[in-house]
Structure 1
C-alpha cells in the first residue's frame, strides 16, 4: 500500500497523495461500521473518511441525507480507523453543526460554490477556527467563482485550504457525468501557487468502471490526491449507487495507479535542466517572431486605416485558419491546438488594428 499524505501535512509541501474515501451518504451506523471493517480487511486505510450528511438533490423527494444524527456515527470511524472525518456543508447551519460534532475537515460542494452569498455565510460561521476547508469547483467552468470561494475562506483567516476538482456540467458529452476539463485545475494551480487540488473521479465519470482511468489521468496531471466514493454494497446505496466502489475495489484501484512524483520534490537531473534550457531558448525565439509578426500587423492596420478598410476580413481569416491548421496538423500538432492558437493571435491582431482606428478617429478619442 502506498503512503498517503495525512491531513496534518497540508500546506507543508510534503510528498505523497491524499486519499479520501467513504460513502456518498451516511445511511446507517451498520453501514459505516461495515465499510470501516472492510477497509481494514483490505489494508486500504485512506487519509480521510468522507460521508455525505446533507445531500443537495436536484428534486425534492430524493434522499437528502440523514442529518446531524449521522455525525454521531463518525465515532465508529475514529474507533476502527483513527483517521480524520470530512463532510460537506451547504450553509452556515451545517458548518456550525459540523463544528459542534468535532468534524475534522469540511468541504463545500459544487452547487454551493456557485453562490457567493452561501459561501460567505459558511466562511463567517467558520471564522475563528482553524478547520481545513476544501472547495469543489462550481457546476459551470467558471474559474473566478472557484477562486473567489477559496478567497472568501482565506479572507476570514482560514489558511488550511484545498480545492476539489469534480468536473463540470456538460449536457453534450455523454462520456462523463461531469466533464473533467483538465485545463481548469491546471490553471488554478498556476494562479494560486501551492494550492492543493484533489480529484474526484467518482463525480467526473459517474460510474465505477471509469474511476481508475480518471484517477490515473489526475495523477499524470500532477493533482494532489483523490476522493473516491466507497461503499460496502454499492448497488444498494441510497444515493449515487453507480459510481461507488467496494473497499476491495478501492484497494485494486490505488494499487494500479502510477502515482507520479512531483519534480519539485527532488533535484532535477542535468539532462532535464539541459532540456529546459533548450525550451527557454525556443520560447525566446517564439517571442521574437511574435514581436516581428505584430510589427507587420501594425503596418497592415495603418494601411487599412489609410484606405478606410474594415479590420476584420472574413475571406482572409478563413484562408489563414484553413492553411495554417492544415500545415500544423502535418507537423503533428493537434487541430484543436492550432485553432486555439490562431484564434488567440488573431484576436490580439484585431485588437491592435482596432486601437489604431480608434486613436485615428477624433470623434472616438
Structure 2
C-alpha cells in the first residue's frame, strides 16, 4: 500500500478529529489538491497529563470514515490497545498505526498484534519515544508475527532532555539502521512531531526525501491555531500544498552516462576508509603500549590534562579544515572510550597460574 512512485506517499489530516464538520472540510480540501494518499485523524489521544483534550473517542470513527468515503481517500487512525483495534475495524478504518508511547511497550504491541491476527490490515508503526532501534525492530517483528505483510514504519523523532530546536530530535541514524534491518520496508517521516512547529515541516520533509524515505505524514487542520491538540505543528491545506510544491525529489541513482563518475568517487572513498582503519589500528597499538607502561609504573588510566589537550588541539585542527566541532568531538570521544576500555583490560590482566 505504502508505495513511493515518482512522488512521495502522503498521509495528511488533523492531529485529532474534533467534529464531523471539521474532518469533512479537511478531507475535502486535501482531496481537491490531489496530493494525499491516506487521510489520518486521531480518535483517542492519550496526553502526557490528564484533564486536557484526549480525543472525541469512538464517536469520531464514523465521522472519519464518512469523510474519507466522500473524499475518496482511505483512512487511518492510531490504536493503543485491543479495544481500539476492535472498534476501528468495526467502523471500517482502512489503516491502523501504533503510536510512539505504545511502541515503547512490548506488552501493548503484543496485545495489538493478537487483536489483528488474521486480518492483514495495513499497519504503520511509529518509532518508540526513546532512541532504541531494538524496540522499533521488535514491534515490527511482533506485527509480522501476527501475519500482517503490509507494514510501514513512521519516523517521528525521539524524546530528549537536551534543549534543541526540535520537539523530538530526529536522530536520523536510527531510521537508517531500520532500513538496514528491513530492506525495502517503507519508512514515512512525520515532520510535524519531529519539529513541533509548522516552520520546521518543510526543512525536515526535504531532509526525509533526501534520505530516500517513502513519504510524509503531516498534520493538517483548517484552523490550526484553534486546534484542540498540537496547534503549533499543524498547517492549513493551502500551506500544506505549498510545502509539497517546494520539496525537491531527487533520484536514487544518476543518469546512466554519469554512473561511472559516481563509481570512481566511491572507489576513492573505499581507499580512504581503508587508510583510516589502518591508522586507527596503528593508534590502538600505541594505546596498548601506553596501557602496558601505565601498568608497569602503577599509573591511572585517565590523565585529564592530556585528554583535555587532545580535545582542544584536534578540535581546533578540525575547525581550521572545515570540520564541525561536534563531529570532531564525537570521533575523539569514541576513540577515547575504546582507548580507556583497552587500557583497563591491560591494567587488570593478571598472570595465569602455571
- TM-score of the pair, normalised by structure 2: 0.91
Q: Deviations over 1:20-62 (max 9, x none)?
A: 0011111222222211222234x23411110101111222222
Cα distance in 1, alignment partners of residues 337 and 299 from structure 2: 17
Cα distance in 2, alignment partners of residues 243 and 60 from structure 1: 21
Q: Which residue of 2 aligns with 1:138?
A: 128
Q: Deviations over 1:43-94 (max 9, x none)?
A: 2341111010111122222222222222222333343332321110011111
Larger deviation, residues 84-93 vs 96-105: 96-105
Cα distance in 1, alignment partners of residues 89 and 258 from structure 2: 43
**Secondary structure of 1:349's match?**
helix
Runs (5+) with no aligned partner, structure 2: none
The alpha-carbon distance between structure 1 residues 98 and 266, as it changes in their structure 2 partners (threshold 3 A), is: farther
Q: Which residue of 1 aligns with 2:13?
A: 22
**Contact 2:220–2:240, Cα closer than 8 Å, also in 1:** yes
1:158-307 superposed matches below 5 A: 158-173=148-163, 175-263=165-253, 269-307=259-297
RMSD: 2.4
2:62 corresponds, among 68, 72, 77, to 72
2:124 paired with 1:124: no
**Contact 1:45–1:81, Cα closer than 8 Å, also in 2:** no
Q: Which residue of 1 aligns with 2:31?
A: 40
Cα distance in 2, alignment partners of residues 261 and 53 from structure 1: 37
Cα distance, 1:340 vs. partner?
0.9
Cα distance in 2, alignment partners of residues 164 and 17 from structure 1: 14
Larger deviation, residues 214-223 vs 103-112: 214-223
Q: Deviations over 1:197-232 (max 9, x none)?
A: 211111222222322122122222332211111122
**Secondary structure of 2:348's match?**
helix
The alpha-carbon distance between structure 1 residues 37 and 155, as it changes in their structure 2 partners (threshold 3 A), is: closer
Cα distance, 1:177 vs. partner?
2.4
Larger deviation, residues 333-342 vs 290-299: 290-299
Aligned residue pairs: how many?
354
Cα distance in 1, alignment partners of residues 109 and 316 from structure 2: 47
Cα distance in 1, alignment partners of residues 7 and 258 from structure 2: 18
Cα distance in 1, alignment partners of residues 300 and 149 from structure 2: 52
The alpha-carbon distance between structure 1 residues 316 and 361, as it changes in their structure 2 partners (threshold 3 A), is: farther
Cα distance in 2, alignment partners of residues 210 and 128 from structure 1: 40
Cα distance in 2, alignment partners of residues 79 and 195 from structure 1: 28
Cα distance in 2, alignment partners of residues 29 and 267 from structure 1: 54
